[in-house]
Amino acid sequence: MNSNKNNHFDVAVLGGGPGGYPAAIKASQLGKKVALIEKKDLGGTCLNRGCIPSKTLIANANLWKKIEAASLYGITVNNPTFDYAKMAKRKDEVVEKVRNSLGQLIEANGITLFRGFGKLTGPKTIKIMGDELFEIEADKIIIATGSEPKSVASFPFDYEKIHDSTSLLNLTSLPKSILIIGGGIIGCEFASLFNAFDVEVSILEMMPHLIPTEAKNVSDTLEKAFKKKGIHLYLEALVQKIEKTKTGVRAYLAGDKTIDAEIALVAIGRSLNTSGIGLENAGVIVLPNGLIAVDEKMETNVAGIYAVGDIASKYWLAHVATHQGIVAANNAAGQKSIMHYNAIPSVIFTEPEIASIGLNLEEALNEGYDATIGSFPFQALGKSQAIIETEGFAQVVIDKKTGELLGAQVVGYDAGNLIAEMGIAMSSESTVETIMDTIHAHPTVAESWLEAALLANDTPLHLPKKKKKSLRE
């Protein structure tokens, strides 16, 4: 094993995904000698097998739907066609371009990149198994190994007929039909993607609603939209097993019901990449739920060892991992930094698009708040009418007594960008009055936040007023 004084680092980061590489960059910017260890491609799941490739394909789908609706804008498009193989190629080109840029960024920051599988051999040592076997030492270690699609024996992946999200992204041709097991974020995004290209889509979800972590009116809106688009929904469906058939796949549900399709996607969650990385060698505690125990500094029970991303919190979001990585790097470099979770935006790139932050109404009431909402439909916005994007709404959740902004949800056009305003508002502890007093440009879809805030205070401009006491009375 190769080990010498040149293999000593101030900070070593295990994993080059959206939690790991920002941690490495931040630590380097703070003057530390940094090692970054990655067994696959820089960027992790998000860049290579998740966020970026899926959103590239979804962008193709969104444009295709616009082309199909061109006549509504007074535009004639004769016999448009699409080539999914070319779309898949563009997806790969986008990923490669971003990945190459990331590699240049790592190099520009003076970070030493090791290619191979990293395993802790102690609280300050990591064995790297790549083209050669060697060991490095580090004063501080940041673990950011992420997660992979979850598999179970009753849903056996063969990556030809029964897919996980990774293999499904690699298709170069479309099936005629698809079964999607799991109505969460990944399942619903793929449902929108394939439905846009006229693939027959069936979603099988064991819970009473799609995306059950979202507000009920958000889930209801998505379900209504999916049904209108011809997506088949099987809610409270217990899938017992999936088998391959001569013509495709068959799902067996409780009650002797079966559903057939050409292929299937199993999107029932993800498995944490914590096994085999030597946590026990360093004495790092793993909780019963599989997560690594960390404090608000993202530090584990072992001083100087930090964990970020999917393996360290319930928020399995790339942007959360990035922020955790920065917090961990700050602390590893001697800077005081803590993680806050009160204003985390989440975006679901379905059609319609969905974004949320903070508490929904049901959660706020369950936590004991005297809460209410203001929900403004895009149908009532001039800009939404102008661009023919009237589906959905924006809503704020507030404390009726104090006006505190507890959360916000938006369903519809550009939801992912619209939620940013609420992120800033909640991070700065703004009240509903702050939103009401903020001049919003007209005509924009972002005006919906002003209207939602006014509705929550029962002082609406563009919807009828309801009879209740104003916060300013």
Per-residue pLDDT for 468 more than 80?
no
The pLDDT value recorded for residue 5 is 45
Phi and psi angles of residue 266, each rounded to the nearest 5 degrees, phi first? -105, 110
Residue 283 lies in a domain: yes
Phi and psi angles of residue 110, each rounded to the nearest 5 degrees, phi first? 70, 25
Domain span including residue 369: 345-457
Query: Is 106 within any annotated ligand binding site?
Result: no
Per-residue pLDDT for 472 more than 60?
no
The pLDDT value recorded for residue 33 is 97
Identity of the amino acid at 230: G
Residue 339 lies in a domain: no
Q: What is the CATH number of the domain that holds 255?
A: 3.50.50.60
Burial of 226 (0-12, 13-18, 19+ CB in 10 A): buried
For residues 174 and 111, state if they share a domain: no
Query: Is 205 within any annotated ligand binding site?
Result: yes
At 255, the pLDDT band (50, 70, 90 cuts) reads confident
Which pair of tokens denotes residue 448? 């919906």
Residues 73-122 have pLDDT tens digits of: 999 999 999 999 999 999 999 999 999 999 999 999 999 999 999 999 99
For residues 216 and 294, state if they share a domain: no
| Cα dihedral 325, 92, 178, 352 sign | positive
Query: Is 131 within any annotated ligand binding site?
Result: no
Which pair of tokens denotes residue 299? 């530090």
Residue 465 lies in a domain: no
The pLDDT value recorded for residue 351 is 96
Query: Is 183 within any annotated ligand binding site?
Result: yes
For residues 380 and 415, state if they share a domain: yes
For residues 251 and 236, state if they share a domain: yes
For residues 264 and 282, state if they share a domain: no
H, E, C per residue of 253-268: ECCCEEEEECEEEECC
Cβ burial 318-356 (10 Å sphere, 16+ → b, else e): bbbbbbbbbbbbbbbbeeebebeeebbbbbbbbbbbbbb
Per-residue pLDDT for 1 more than 90?
no
Residues 115-140 have pLDDT tens digits of: 999 999 999 999 999 888 889 999 99
Last residue of a domain, one of 248, 268, 288: 268
Separation in Å, CA 432 to CA 68, 221, 350, 360: 40, 25, 28, 15
Residue 462 lies in a domain: no
The pLDDT value recorded for residue 153 is 80
Last residue of a domain, one of 247, 268, 289: 268
Separation in Å, CA 65 to CA 20, 46, 60, 72, 417: 36, 25, 9, 12, 20
Query: Is 404 within any annotated ligand binding site?
Result: no
**What average pLDDT does range 189-215 have in this prediction?**
97
Residue 30 lies in a domain: yes
Cβ burial 64-87 (10 Å sphere, 16+ → b, else e): beeeeeeeeeeeeeeeeeeeeeeb
CA 380/CA 96 separation, integer angstroms:
42
Per-residue pLDDT for 13 more than 80?
yes
**What average pLDDT does range 384-403 have in this prediction?**
97
Report the catalytic residues.
Answer: 442
For residues 195 and 283, state if they share a domain: no
CA 421/CA 214 separation, integer angstroms:
19
Total of domains in the chain: 3
User: What pTM was estimated for this model as a whole?
Assistant: 0.92
For residues 36 and 132, state if they share a domain: yes
Per-residue pLDDT for 197 more than 50?
yes
**What average pLDDT does range 425-446 have in this prediction?**
96
For residues 253 and 305, state if they share a domain: no
Per-residue pLDDT for 470 more than 60?
no
Query: Is 262 within any annotated ligand binding site?
Result: no
Which pair of tokens denotes residue 347? 């975006």
Residues 341-369 have pLDDT tens digits of: 999 999 999 999 999 999 999 999 999 99
Phi and psi angles of residue 310, each rounded to the nearest 5 degrees, phi first? -55, -35
Per-residue pLDDT for 453 more than 60?
yes
Where do the DSSP E strands lie in 216-353?
232-235, 239-244, 249-253, 257-261, 263-266, 270-272, 305-307, 346-348
For residues 196 and 259, state if they share a domain: yes
Residues 6+ apart with CB under 8 A from 35: 9, 11, 12, 13, 24, 111, 112, 113, 114, 136, 138
